[in-house]
Structure formats: structure tokens, C-alpha cells
Amino acid sequence: MALIEAEGLEKTYDEDGGAVTQAVRGVTFKINKGEFVAIMGPSGSGKSTLLHILGFLDRQSGGTYRFDGKTIDDYSPVELARVRNRQMGFVFQTFNLLSRASVLENVKLPLLYSDIEESLWNEKTMKAIEAVGLSHRVNHESAKLSGGEKQRVAIARALVLDPQIIFADEPTGNLDSKSGLAVMETIQHLNEKHGHTIILITHETYTAEHAERIIHILDGKIDKDEKVGHRRRSDEFSK
């Protein structure tokens, strides 16, 4: 069943001086529940703009986008905020953690803005931390973690409300190759073992090959949409 449906998506920006930049041009695709899809392209290709549309962080200029059967216009501003909070998880290149707060406190943060009973917060937080293999770091300050561990905390925070989909925007961009591999193993594990739908934004081929399918974006258009022939396999997740 399609979770994401994009039909002829367009996104244009009006620049100073009257110039118009077309960041996304007639993009059409579907992503089913449980898929792991990488959207890949060089810097400036429009892939991050596309992610912002898919995550209801921005509105398209043309075309139709449906998430779980509904468009952005089907929601009030309050309902839209709730969808982003409860059904979507976001992981960014820069981690966006509270540096003086513990791993537990950082992961718990989205629950403060939810309608979930406070008595369940610790249970849900620990479940998310365990899913990314950081139970042994639960009381550590985030500032004292390695880059790879910080990104895994960010993934746990995205998981804590059990969203339908996780958007990961260049999640290995600030990491060395070893830490980046650990992060990608974590994301792949969430897809394979827990069934989370993943959309990964990346410019790196070796990162994209952890996905099942790669949508190549070039100059705002889909250049290729193909299954990964030789998918990178993570080691058995054991941490």
C-alpha cells in the first residue's frame, strides 16, 4: 500500500531581482509502507527541497502530494503539526541535540509535546534507546558522545513516538566512515527488523546502497528510479 504518492510535483522560488528558481520539476513516484528508499543526487539537485515537501515542512508550488491518502490541504495547522509530531520522524545531518542534556532527556523530548500519558514516557524512551543500541549510554550527556553515538540518539528521538515514516537527511554527512557505517546499520536494522518506512537523502553512493531502491534526482527531475542490485548488507545488529 502506498504511503507516499507524488504526482507532478513542482517547487519554485522567487529570488531577489525577479529571478525564478525551479528546484523540483514534475516529480512523480510512490513509496509503499515498509520500503527503504534513498533519494540521491548532487548538491543543489533538489533532493532536500523534495524531502521538505514530503515531510510537510514546505508546500509544493504545483502537482499533488499525498501522505497516507491525504494532502496538506486536508489538515488544519494544528492537525498538520500533529501529523509531523506523531507520524513522521526526522533525522538531520547536524544532530540537533541538547548538548548538556542526557541521552534519556534528549530522546524523551518529543513526548513533552504529545498527548501520551506521562506515566508511559520512560518506557517509550527506553524502548527507542534500546532500538539504536545505546542502553549503556542512557545517562551520559550528549556533548560527551562520539559523532556516531549522537546521530543514533537523534534516530532514537525520531523513533520515540513510533512514527509511520523516518526521514533521514544526510545522516552520515558529519561522520567518519566507521561512524557513518554504524549509523546506516542502525537505520537498516529499523527497516528490516521493525518495519519502519525510511526515506534517506544522500549524495553518497555507498550510503544509498543500504536502501532497497534509489531515486536519482538531477536538476530537480527524476533521472532514474531503480532497485538496488547489490544492496549493502549490515552486520547482525548486536549493540
Is the pLDDT reported for residue 17 higher than 80?
no
Range of the domain at 223: 34-56+76-238
Residue 97 lies in a domain: yes
Residue 192 lies in a domain: yes
pLDDT in tens, 174-208: 899 899 999 999 999 899 888 899 999 999 998 99
Q: What per-residue confidence (pLDDT) applies to 187?
A: 93
Residues 225, 27: Cα–Cα separation, whole Å: 11
pTM equals 0.90
CA distance 90 to 159: 9
- What's the pLDDT at 237? 41
Residue 239 has a pLDDT of 41
8-12, 24-28, 222-226, 232-236: which range is least confident on average?
Answer: 232-236
In a domain, 111, yes or no: yes
Lowest pLDDT segment from 31-45, 75-89, 153-167, 222-236: 222-236
Whether 19 maps to a domain, the answer reads: no
pLDDT at position 19, please?
A: 82
Residues near 42 by beta carbon (within 8 Å), at least 6 away in sequence: 203, 218
Over residues 139-149, the mean pLDDT reads: 95
pLDDT, average across residues 111-139: 94
Distances from the Cα of 47 to the Cα of 6, 147, 167, 174, 222, angstroms: 14, 24, 12, 18, 10
Nearest to 88 by CA among 110, 108, 115, 106: 110
> pLDDT value at position 235?
55
The whole-number pLDDT of residue 16 equals 73
Amino acid 238: pLDDT: 41
C-alpha of 24 from chain center:
19
CATH number of the domain residue 100 falls in: 3.40.50.300
pLDDT of 44 strictly over 70: yes
pLDDT value at 233 more than 90: no
Per-residue model confidence as pLDDT tens digits over 59-112 = 999 999 999 999 999 999 999 999 998 999 999 988 999 999 999 999 999 999
Q: Give the CA angle between residues 135, 183, 197 to the nearest 5°.
A: 95
How many domains, the chain? 1
